[in-house]
Amino acid sequence: MSTSADANEPVPAVLDESAGNKQALESAASQLLFDRKLSLSPLAFTTSSRVPIEKKQARDAQGKLLNGRELQSEVIVFSLWQQDGECWLQRDDTDQRILLTDVACKPE
């Protein structure tokens, strides 16, 4: 439980049950991925403050990896945080974050 002494510290958060603003989360995550479109599960951030996203590798029309690239899995992790009653989404590998307006979250 939070106390007033640590109220200013960011804490891992999950979506409040009344909030299911998937579109706002997808928009913020897309911005953190340099405007690449992505789709999140309806359950994203409902039980965990962290959501890993596997990046798709570029392929040609036949489905082969471009430019002799080897098959590697690149995972980008997003975290949901709450601080001073506000929620924000962070891209963990770059520490970039976006304030989420109209999204309610609670400490994990």
> CA-CA distances (angstroms) from residue 52 to 29, 55, 71, 93?
11, 10, 18, 11
pLDDT 10s digits, 64-86: 766 655 556 678 999 999 999 89
Residue 65 lies in a domain: no
Residue 41 lies in a domain: yes
Residue 36 lies in a domain: yes
| pTM score of the predicted model | 0.75
Residue 84 lies in a domain: yes
Exposed (0-12), middle (13-18) or buried (19+): which is 42, by Cβ within 10 Å? exposed
Residue 34 lies in a domain: yes
Selected residue with higher pLDDT from 35 and 62: 35
Domain hosting 81: range is: 9-56+74-107
State the total domains in the chain: 1
If we measure between CA atoms, which residue out of 90, 92, 91, 85 comes closest to residue 106?
85
Check: CB of residue 25 under 8 Å from CB of residue 46: no
Residue 16 lies in a domain: yes
pLDDT 10s digits, 84-100: 989 999 999 999 999 99
Residue 4 lies in a domain: no
Residue 67 lies in a domain: no
